[in-house]
Amino acid sequence: MPPELFNLFGRLRRRIRGVVAWRSAAGLAAGLGLAFWLGMAADWFFEPPPTVRLGMILAGGAAAVAWLARTLAAPLLRAMPDRELALLVEQR
């Protein structure tokens, strides 16, 4: 295989990983923003005790970790063989 193809595949891998990272970060920011506003609404309407607030914070943290594992870690750790990348380039 010509060396310029290896360079192309390397750039394509970096670009795909960058898009995955940005999409994951944007989704995480949206989710944390939603959790913040839901927490503010709960405080406004119900004023929950500190243990319930702590539970809400822990649930939000667990959801954030699960989100990162699913949308960031799993795709970044997935192998991208040259064959799949060649098919992707060929489709474009």
For 3-49, the pLDDT digits (tens) are: 776 688 889 999 999 999 999 999 999 999 999 999 999 999 989 99
Residue 65 has pLDDT above 80, yes or no: yes
The pLDDT of residue 92 is: 82
**Amino acid code (one letter) for 51:** T
22: which residues sit within 8 A by CB, 6+ positions away? none
In Å, the largest CA–CA distance within the chain is: 66
- Tokens standing for residue 51: 């243990």
b/e map of 13-37 (b: 16 or more CB within 10 Å)?
Answer: eeebeeebeeebeeebeeeeeebee
pLDDT in the model for residue 6: 64
Instruction: Say how far apart CA 38 and CA 41 lie, in whole Å.
Output: 5
Return the closest-CA partner of residue 61 out of 34, 32, 88: 32
